Amino acid sequence: MAHVGHRVDYLAGFCCPVGGLVSGKPRVLCHENEIYLSNGSEFVYVYDQEGKVLKAVYKCPDQVWHMELLPLPKQLYILCAHSGIYCVSLDQQSRLMEQTDGDGQESNCPSGVFPVDSDACIFPDSTLCTFTLLNNFVITLSQAQGKWWMKLHELPHPEQESPPYRQISEVGFCPGPEPGDEGDGPPSRFLPVLCCASSPGTVGSGEGLWCSGGFVLEEPLFSLLFGIDAAMLESPMILCGFPDGQLCSVPLKALSSSQTADGCHDVSSQDPPVKILHHLEEPIVFIGALRTERRAAEEEEAEDEQLFGDAGCDCVVAVGHYGKMVAVKADQREEATVPELREYYLRGPILCAACGSGSRMYYSTHSDISAVDLDWVNESSDPEDAESSTGVLPPVLSPASLSICSVVALSLSSRASEGESELLALSAKGRLMTCGLCSPEEAPPARMTPAEAGRRIKELLSGIGNASERVSFLKKAVDQKNRALASLNQVMNVSAALLSSQEGQKPIACTVTANWSCLLLQDAVTISCVLENCSEYSLEEGWTLCVQLLASPCALEEDSADSGTTFTFPIDQLLPGNKRELTLPLGSPADTKLDLPLTISCALYYSLRDILGSGSDSSEALDDFLPDDSPILSPDREGICLPLSECTIDMLQCLRFESSPPGPDASPPAAAPPAPPDPVETFLEVSREQTEPEGVKDSEPPQAPGDGNLPPSAASIRVSSELLKNALKNSSSGVPLSCATLRWLLAENAGAEALSSGEVASVRGAAPDGGEVQLLVREVAMNDLSPAGPIQAVEILMESPSLADMCRMHHAVIRRIQALVLEQAAQGSGPPDLRMQYLRQIQANHEMLLKEAQSLRDRPPPGEEGAATAEKLLHIYRQLRNPSLVVL
């Protein structure tokens, strides 16, 4: 409707918590030129509006719930959470401050924070919820024993110093059902609201009537609302708005505790002092009063002005948090004067509200401050129209926007100097601002002077600035929410797809292979992970592929077992059906030693922190979002983790063959197939070759075995041909068993494709650290094992100058054969008849060897003999690695 002229000035910023200030507890008071502000923390600020400086800061022992100012003597009454009401004398404090100012040079900033100590606590009562002041009386409302208690205390007169805060009277009551469901203490984040309504008669008697937020209520509304007794007693009335929505009135002059029964009364049989005026059914956040009939008062000003002095209010309003508002006004048009009660629905949630001297009420929501005018002149003279809209209150309210968003505390002040009222507002971000209010009469001046026009333009500009700030704020918030929702949706889709296909093929898969590639002119083993999205959802930005490399616990050096490295690759976008290959280096020969075998696990990770914003409460938001025991929640509870695959990379996969794959003519052993050379000879040859350098470098300390300067280590495994034939029958068609076996062993090696073309039974390759490794497969017959005759077997012979490489190779081969045996055992082929005696003999031999090795290891002989012992040990191990057993 009407645009309310206003001008916004920012005064100061005050600290506020990360999530912004919460409404209810912050409070802004204004007296003369000073603004008293509490922002819900334990601090109370005194701000000088004239000098635009912060004058003082008080630190209270606990969160400040409520604050009232007594102007004479200048005292601030502060209610702290769970401790009571503290009284701070401002006169004293300013004197104190002047002293300190004299000492220090800075006069602009407060010389510090004044702590409010426990001596200042005048009502130590942990059950206090709120209070209000009326002249030199304090009215407190506390909650104890399932009841509300209103107590009236008298403050000591200024002249008498000793502070006996005499309790005059109290009344306990419980409006409605059980006030304290959650035990003692305020039941919710809403505190009750108190407000004092005086009868018109009391104004004349008490010149210095002071009650912040209080008002004088005109007759006949006072009598109609509170009854003839209160009116004749001229008793001030306390209006209480409770978090459950009840609006009660209590006559201050007739507070009396008639404890006829200690239980709660129900409303019908309630004792008269406490009357329920209305039930708003939502937490009441504000009670105020308005002067709606300006003109009527002006008409009969002659008598009225003298009778009542300043005209009182003629309309009481109460506002609920969710936007319900009730207004009560006396309807005198009919033959009977009745209170007209009208409910309105404003757009909530309403954070705070304020009433000025006029007919307007200002209320603040998250997005705006609005003004509603309850002045309503039924202009239509049409009797029918009047019939349809009977009432003295407007049938609907049309809020006018002030375009100031998220204000948590409002107060109306009229500065005497300027003669216009202004709105003091504290925003959720802790900013204190004033908003000048022009009454509609003076808003459009007939003809503007240039100065006025300039001012008006300025105001308009500031209004525009404010509006655009608000728009961008709101837009940003909406956008962010939309984005978050979209992201969450796709995250949920992907998670569901992955989790539902736990058994079978995962729709999003990651395959890992090891390769040799040339990096920075050095050859190195790399791992390539191929992430393939076969699902119908695309992986959007925010997903991360995590590849964790973990040296297996059975790696050679046990202490490195737990050293895992994780590589993360952010995925920008992976559409359905697309692949992405990622490569990561495992290490080059020059690099640190590579501990094979490696366990590599891949997982997709999505950080929820990013989409939920960086607010401090996002982890709580996450708690709401996912249950605690959700399997997909990552251990730090900040994201979603979906495991994809796990695999092991071992020596066989990392072997590198000469640039030209081992062809039939590449190496002597490779040319074996037609007439395989005697493996024993070959072995001996190699051994001899390696022994020579060893003998040369005898002077070197033998403590470093397996570093290439030793004779080539060798190991062999025999597997029965039948077993292998069974296992490899798919791939071994047409090739000798030895070739098939070698192919099988090197199947996962990308560089060994050439093997598949020819019939190769032996290869020579390089380990990742550069050492040479040879692998030889041949068929042997085992004679002594079975009584039924010789058993055909395949012997896999591994040798390398480096003991470590040989061991890794041995491990890799055994790992494969283990898997194969397990697989075959599952198919249930029984072993042939064996000569047990022989087997036992071999086992006994081995056990003896083991024992010997152990004893040598346990008691390493000192000095010179050490070298010899090491040699011996090596020999024993070598013997152990060449069992005469066969895997059947």
List residues binding other proteins (CB under 8 A): 134, 137, 152, 154, 166, 168-169, 205, 219-220, 223-225, 227-229, 231-236, 251-256, 258-262, 268-273, 275-279, 328, 330, 332, 334-339, 341
Residue closer to other proteins by CB (options 254, 849) is 254
The nearer residue to other proteins, 334 or 628, going by C-beta atoms, is: 334
Contact 35, 424 (CB under 8 A): yes
* Shortest CB 330 distance to other proteins, Å: 7
Smallest distance, Å, CB 227 to other proteins?
Answer: 5
Tell me the closest approach of the beta carbon of residue 319 to other proteins, in angstroms.
18
Minimum CB distance to other proteins smaller for 199 or for 413 = 199
Return the number of the residue (252 or 525) whose C-beta is nearest other proteins.
252
396: tokens are 């609907």
Nearer CB in complex with other proteins: 164/564:
164
Cα–Cα distance between 482 and 488 in angstroms, integer? Answer: 10
Nearer to other proteins, 262 or 418 (CB): 262
Sign of CA dihedral 481, 483, 487, 489: positive
Q: How far is the CB of 134 from other proteins (least distance, A)?
A: 8
Query: Which residue number, 236 or 639, has a Cβ lying nearer to other proteins?
Result: 236
- How many H helices and E strands in the chain? 16, 42
If we measure between CA atoms, which residue out of 839, 835, 826 comes closest to residue 726?
A: 826
Helices (H), 775-888: 803-827, 836-858, 865-881
Q: How far is the CB of 262 from other proteins (least distance, A)?
A: 5
Beta carbon of residue 278, minimum distance to other proteins (angstroms, whole number): 6
Answer whether 839's CB lies under 8 Å from 678's CB.
no
CA distance 789 to 4: 111
The rounded distance, in Å, linking the Cα atoms of 66 and 47 is 17
CA distance 406 to 350: 10
Least distance from other proteins to the Cβ atom of residue 155, Å: 11
Min dist. Cβ of residue 181 to other proteins (A): 17
Q: Give the CA distances from residue 798 to residues 515, 768, 808, 823, 847, in Å, rounded to whole numbers and listed in that order.
A: 21, 16, 10, 24, 23
Sign for the CA dihedral angle at 603, 609, 610, 611 comes to positive
Q: What's the closest the beta carbon of residue 205 comes to other proteins, in angstroms?
A: 8
Q: Which is nearer to other proteins, 220 or 866 (CB)?
A: 220
Least Cβ distance, residue 343 to other proteins (angstroms): 12
Nearer CB in complex with other proteins: 198/434: 198
Cβ at position 645, least distance to other proteins in Å: 51
* List of residues 6+ apart from 16 with CB closer than 8 A: 39, 428, 429, 430
Distance of closest approach, residue 226 Cβ to other proteins, in angstroms? 9
- Cα–Cα distances in Å, from 410 out to 136, 435, 442? 25, 10, 23
Residues in a beta bridge with 85: 79, 123
Q: What are 167's two structure tokens?
A: 């309790």
Q: How far is the CB of 279 from other proteins (least distance, A)?
A: 7
Cis peptide before 831 (omega within 30 of 0): no
Identity of the residue, 229 or 610, whose beta carbon is nearer to other proteins in the bound complex:
229
Least distance from C-beta 275 to other proteins, angstroms?
6
Rounded to a whole number of angstroms, the minimum distance from the CB of residue 135 to other proteins is 8
Q: Which is nearer to other proteins, 280 or 727 (CB)?
A: 280
Instruction: Return the sign of the alpha-carbon dihedral for residues 436, 440, 441, 446.
Output: positive
CA atoms of 388 and 521, how far apart (whole Å): 94
Q: Which two tokens stand for residue 266?
A: 């129900």
Shortest reach from residue 301's CB to other proteins, in Å: 20
Characterize 175-205 residue by residue with b for buried, 16 or more Cβ atoms within 10 angstroms of its Cβ, and e for exposed: beeebbeeeeebbeebbbbbbbbbbbbeeee
Q: Report the nearest approach of other proteins to the CB of residue 607 (Å).
A: 45
Compute the Cα dihedral for 250, 256, 262, 267 and give only its sign: negative
**Residue closer to other proteins, measured from CB, 64 or 274:** 274
Taking the least distance from each CB to other proteins, the nearer of 2 and 307 is: 307
Rounded Cα gap, residues 620 and 758, in angstroms: 64
**Which residues fall within 8 angstroms of residue 342, CB to CB, at 6 or more apart?**
326, 327, 328, 391, 393, 395
Tell which phi-psi region holds residue 830, choosing left (phi > 0), alpha (psi between -120 and 50) or beta.
beta
Q: Which is nearer to other proteins, 209 or 546 (CB)?
A: 209
Tell me the chain's radius of gyration from C-alpha atoms: 45
C-alpha distances (whole Å) from 742 to each of 510, 513, 567, 759 are 27, 19, 33, 10
Identity of the residue, 258 or 480, whose beta carbon is nearer to other proteins in the bound complex: 258
Nearer to other proteins, 144 or 584 (CB): 144
Q: Rounded to 5, what percent of the chain is helix, strand, coil?
A: 25, 35, 40
CA distance 547 to 566: 6
Residue located via tokens 């200042």: 120
Q: Which is nearer to other proteins, 100 or 118 (CB)?
A: 118
> Smallest gap, in angstroms, from Cβ of residue 71 to other proteins?
19
**Cα–Cα dist 743/763, whole Å:** 10
Alpha helices in 674-754 (DSSP H): 679-696, 721-727, 737-745
In angstroms, the CA 319 to CA 23 distance is 14
**75: CB partners within 8 A, 6+ apart:** 69, 87, 88, 89, 90
Closer CB to other proteins, residue 100 or residue 145? 145
Q: For residue 171, which phi and psi values (nearest 5 degrees)?
A: -140, 135
